[in-house]
Structure 1
Amino acid sequence: MRGDGDGWVFSSDGSRHWGRHGAAGLLLRAPSGSGESSVLLQHRAAWSHQGGTWALPGGARDSHESAEHAAVREAGEEAGITDDLLTVRAEHVTAVEDSGWSYTTVVADTDHELDTVPNGESTELRWVAEKDVESLPLHPAFAVSWPSLRTVAVRAVLAPDASLDLGARTVRLDVGRFGWVVDVVAADDVESAVAAAQHPTELHTVVVTADDAVRGAVSADVTVLAPESL
């Protein structure tokens, strides 16, 4: 059933944006065979706005919808993916216009590269290695937002108070900064957690803890996340 969100909104510079109540898209990641991340992209049908470019499954929000609900609904309509197959990690507003229109990217993970079922809005749906996304002709708005959505490879150090089963997944490092967990170290005590956090690595180190002793002992370039934030 068609909702009440379909329609163009015009900004003061004359540019138009789809979605009377804003729009949302789903950035869905999955581990590839190598453990690195892949993202699900949509090759937009030629007849659509910016047809022929690659972007995220997404579309207009209805007046009663949250960004998450709209993004997941659109992914179901455009890719055949249902909410029970994914875990939402974060939301990131990637565009705001003076008209009040905005676009929210909903970041989510799944544990493998899901099969997809395209509808008429897609020429193709493809799991693309994250490192290869920029090699495609991207939708202009997605190209602008991609640097704030892409991940860096993360080594997660679990302090003794962080009893988590942390596998390959997206973590939010800060506003507009995301990581993909590729290595996990479980520390038995505070000293070993601090030592692991300070160990030289090419990966971005994240320490998962609520322990002030650990927080205070790691260097400023190490990201510290509370267990309840994951």
Structure 2
Amino acid sequence: MRGDGDGWVIAESGSHHWGRHGAAGLLLRAPQPGGGAAVLLQHRAPWSHQGGTWGLPGGALDSHETPEQAAVREAHEEAGLPAEAVHVRHTLVTAEVAAVGGGSWSYTTVIADAAALLDTVANRESAELRWVAEAAVTELRLHPAFAASWPRLRELIAAMPLRATQPPAD
């Protein structure tokens, strides 16, 4: 079943969306030295869909995954983030379209916190990974869907205090 989500869904509008079962991305926040929060952004490889733009690490959901599981897995694959360092706080469906042949496709943004600015290791899907101050996100050339959802996400995270420490292990 691993990887069974890879593939395009065609929307009734004719647009193409990656992830046969939908997709999810991780909006990871961490405290910056001196105060405030930064978010981890991915500069998408030139060959990828919407390459050259900045967005969230993320990708296709496999049939057995929740959006939270997929977003954390993709962040590990694309940025080298250890799952145990990521504390999921909230999920929000930030895009949904009707698919050709019935059904729908959706993109879920998973909001999470880390205790510190984690080291990252880019895979081939990333030209660069960067921690960016929340206030500076719009200064970058954003992936169009991320740009459309950022104002709503920014409002949501502004009302959600950053957790500077991880919860105790079970």
Deviations 1:122-165 (A, max 9, x none): 000000000000000000000001011115xxxxxxxxxxxxxx
CA–CA distance in structure 2, aligned partners of residues 137 and 48 of structure 1: 15
TM-score by length of 1: 0.66
* Deviant stretches of 4+, over 6 Å: none
Contact 1:41–1:55, Cα closer than 8 Å, also in 2? yes
Partner of 1:29, secondary structure, is strand
CA–CA distance in structure 2, aligned partners of residues 3 and 177 of structure 1: 31
CA RMSD of aligned residues (A): 1.5
Q: 2:144 aligns with which of 129, 140, 143?
A: 140
1:108 alignment partner AA: A
1:165-176 correspondence to structure 2 within 5 Å:
176=156
Contact 2:59–2:70, Cα closer than 8 Å, also in 1? yes
Gaps of 5+ in 1: 152-175, 183-230
Contact 2:2–2:62, Cα closer than 8 Å, also in 1? no
Matched residue, 1:9: 9
1:121 aligns with 2:125: yes
1:75-94 correspondence to structure 2 within 5 Å:
75-94=75-94
CA–CA distance in structure 2, aligned partners of residues 2 and 55 of structure 1: 24
Contact 1:95–1:104, Cα closer than 8 Å, also in 2? yes
RCO higher in 1 or 2 (8 Å CA, sep ≥ 6)?
Answer: 2
CA–CA distance in structure 1, aligned partners of residues 5 and 132 of structure 2: 29
TM superposition shift of 1:107: 0.3
1:49-88 correspondence to structure 2 within 5 Å:
49-88=49-88
1:143 alignment partner AA: A
Question: How many positions carry a matched residue from both structures?
Answer: 158
Contact 1:96–1:102, Cα closer than 8 Å, also in 2? yes
Partner of 1:93, secondary structure, is strand
Deviations 1:12-31 (A, max 9, x none): 11001000000000000001
1:137 to 1:37, Cα distance in 2 relative to 1, 3 A = same
2:17 alignment partner AA: H
1:4 alignment partner AA: D
2:108 alignment partner AA: T
Matched residue, 1:169: none
TM superposition shift of 1:86: 1.4
2:154 alignment partner AA: R
CA–CA distance in structure 1, aligned partners of residues 57 and 157 of structure 2: 21
Matched residue, 1:102: 106
Partner of 2:159, secondary structure, is strand
Q: Which has the larger radius of gyration?
A: 1
Q: 1:112 aligns with which of 111, 116, 137?
A: 116
Contact 1:149–1:177, Cα closer than 8 Å, also in 2? yes
